[in-house]
Amino acid sequence: MSRSIFSKSIAATLGAAVVATGLFASISSYAQSGTMTPTTTPATTTPSGGSTGTPGTTTPGGSMSTPTKKAPTGKTIVTIAAGNKNFTTLVKALKAADLVDTLSAEGPYTVFAPTNAAFAKLPKATLANLLKPENQEQLKKVLTYHVVPGTVTSKQLKAGSVATVEGSNVTVKIKGKKVMINNASVILADVKASNGVIHAIDTVLIPAAK
């Protein structure tokens, strides 16, 4: 199956998410600190506030290089995700794509993290195919499309395009208290990690075929 058809077949299956109400309490227990709901007065789409570190870089095919600086102390993005039952599929995908070390490095990164419910909206065969070793590069493209270099909190988001590590842009839409990334809703914002921030989303983001 060609990459274009493969990507379109995934995108066509995405629908409205149904997220368990217990998700908010469960995720917040693993967050170190920070406001746990999106704000309605965003400021800018670029990282600010004195964040330090060198983000990973993209290479052809959607790969992301691992920063050479020392690993951060405290709970990293991967540590928080691995410790929460709502992100087991995401962690499995990160391992299959060989991105665990990258997102455990200094960063900083902003991750729009699909929950298990988000991945469950994909056909089982499609998800299983993405997780196969021979499709690692395709999986990397999908996952790095969920990552933005730097720390971007909900207060720093505003409507418009934001560049991802994958190389393509995601579109941020804000309607009242609702924040959307492409067709995905942010269901929990500003879960702070030692190397960035996590925003949980209810739909897997799919980069456009190139």
Q: What is the pLDDT of residue 19?
A: 37
Q: What is the pLDDT of residue 177?
A: 85
Say what the pTM is: 0.68
Q: What is the pLDDT of residue 33?
A: 37
**Tens-place pLDDT, residues 67-79:** 444 555 689 999 9
**Alpha-carbon Rg of the chain, whole angstroms?**
16
Percentage, residues of the chain above pLDDT 70: 65
**Tens-place pLDDT, residues 4-49:** 433 444 333 333 333 333 444 444 444 433 333 333 333 334 443 3
Residue 185 vs residue 4, higher pLDDT: 185
